[in-house]
A = this chain, B = another copy of it.
């Protein structure tokens, strides 16, 4: 008799962004004349860079001809893309990697959800609070988190590291020792960045405790300050304790195109087992490679033309970030993030709850953001806006919010 994975039933409600999507759909249906501006989900709005589109066309033409047609891709990615990654994302920053330490995938969301599978079922995880929901939810599904307490909004067997105004949104080393530590910096959702010495502290801690850090660097392209590391491997000793997740979504606009990679250094072994070998085995069994065309598109991101176009896109979004940051400050909001990150994190005014402010903003300004509480209990009383809208919409949204007062 079949039985379900009961861990799934512990998940409270639906995935955050599905809930937001439904709410907005209903509101738009009830108010068809309202022009809703979406600064909620972290989705980009600018088209793909020209160099990427060109590569897609070229690859599509290759797929049309027998001589250049490509069937199954190598599970772990084509060498042309892995080489480009090693060269442009790491060597350029003084980090030496070999191409078999780079594993191409269909997205950082998948990678961040799947990476837990290579660890023991009873591993103890530590996450920031607030946090990107996928880290926790994927561990819930795997039965690693204990039971959910609706009152506290927390799972019994997860170590939460609050990131609030009190600690400047930088987590403190946990009191209890975790086996796996999820860190995302520049952070989603708070937009906070870690300086190199702050990240080094985590690397040293993980090496001392023999814990593994899952370092999500999906937003590294938005870093503007020179003392903020783009890769955890810029810290000494990180290769023996850290996996790094990277994405093409937020820099090159691949949210609907799907491409990412994970770095698992060869030095990273647990109980004498190379984590890279386990990850390769997982890829080889439960994944079948990213599409050839998309990998070629990813390669084009590293061309001279591609790099220039990506920098322009990032610049465009960061101008939005400044508009939001400055505008909200002027309006009297308490805001952070937005300097090394496309996310602006604001304190909800007048003690409003996160979801209360969500409804308030949607109904009174037709602006969609993301309630901080959706990212964890310490996100209550906060709200995330993203810089991924158009410049015009961003200006308009900020104007509308200013009109509300605060």
Give A residues with C-beta under 8 Å from B: 1-6, 8-9, 11, 14-15, 18, 41, 43-48, 50, 53, 56-57, 60-61, 63-66, 69-73, 75, 106-107, 109-110, 113-114, 117-121, 123, 133-134, 137-138, 141, 143, 177, 179-180, 209-212, 253, 255-258, 270-271, 273, 275, 278, 281-282, 284-294, 390
Minimum CB distance partner of A241 in chain B: B2
Measured between beta carbons, the chain B residues less than 8 angstroms from A255 are 71-72, 288
What are some 21 contacts across the A-B interface (CB < 8 A)? A1-B177, A1-B209, A2-B180, A2-B212, A4-B119, A4-B270, A6-B120, A8-B282, A15-B75, A15-B281, A18-B284, A45-B71, A53-B63, A56-B56, A113-B285, A134-B286, A141-B282, A141-B285, A257-B292, A257-B293, A258-B290
> A237 to chain B: closest CB distance in Å?
15
* Most B-side CB within 10 Å, residue of A44, A47, A210, A253: A47
A258–B69 contact, CB under 8 A?
Answer: no
Please name 9 further chain A to chain B contacts, defined as beta carbons within 8 Å, in addition to the given A8-B278, A57-B57, A60-B60, sorted by A numbering.
A9-B273, A45-B69, A47-B69, A53-B61, A53-B64, A109-B286, A133-B285, A256-B291, A257-B293
Measured between beta carbons, the chain B residues less than 8 angstroms from A56 are 56, 60, 63, 293
B64–A2 contact, CB under 8 A?
Answer: no
Measured between beta carbons, the chain B residues less than 8 angstroms from A113 are 285-287
Minimum CB distance partner of A278 in chain B: B8
> A16 to chain B: closest CB distance in Å?
10
* Most B-side CB within 10 Å, residue of A9, A63, A75, A289: A63
> A285 to chain B: closest CB distance in Å?
5
> A180 to chain B: closest CB distance in Å?
6
Measured between beta carbons, the chain B residues less than 8 angstroms from A47 are 63-66, 69
Measured between beta carbons, the chain B residues less than 8 angstroms from A114 are 286
Measured between beta carbons, the chain B residues less than 8 angstroms from A9 are 273
Measured between beta carbons, the chain B residues less than 8 angstroms from A63 are 47-48, 53, 56, 256-257
> A140 to chain B: closest CB distance in Å?
9
Measured between beta carbons, the chain B residues less than 8 angstroms from A73 are 256
Give the contacting residue for A211; candidates B2, B60, B121, B292; CB below 8 A. Answer: B2
> A203 to chain B: closest CB distance in Å?
14
Minimum CB distance partner of A49 in chain B: B64
Measured between beta carbons, the chain B residues less than 8 angstroms from A48 are 63-64, 69
> A247 to chain B: closest CB distance in Å?
10
Measured between beta carbons, the chain B residues less than 8 angstroms from A50 are 64
- In the complex, what distance in Å separates the CA atom of A15 from the CA atom of B292? 21
Known: A53-B60, A60-B56, A71-B256. A4 touches B278 (CB 8 A): yes
Minimum CB distance partner of A60 in chain B: B56
A288–B5 contact, CB under 8 A?
Answer: no
Measured between beta carbons, the chain B residues less than 8 angstroms from A286 are 109-110, 113-114, 134, 138, 141
- In the complex, what distance in Å separates the CA atom of A211 from the CA atom of B11? 25
A287–B110 contact, CB under 8 A?
Answer: yes
Measured between beta carbons, the chain B residues less than 8 angstroms from A65 are 47
B271–A3 contact, CB under 8 A?
Answer: yes
A134–B285 contact, CB under 8 A?
Answer: yes
- In the complex, what distance in Å separates the CA atom of A107 from the CA atom of B286? 10
Minimum CB distance partner of A76 in chain B: B18
Measured between beta carbons, the chain B residues less than 8 angstroms from A18 are 75, 284
B70–A256 contact, CB under 8 A?
Answer: yes
Known: A285-B134, A291-B257. A120 touches B270 (CB 8 A): no
- In the complex, what distance in Å separates the CA atom of A104 from the CA atom of B117? 23
Measured between beta carbons, the chain B residues less than 8 angstroms from A64 are 47-48, 50, 53
A3–B109 contact, CB under 8 A?
Answer: no
Minimum CB distance partner of A286 in chain B: B113
The 5 closest A-B pairs by CB, nearest first: A113-B286, A43-B71, A3-B120, A56-B60, A53-B64
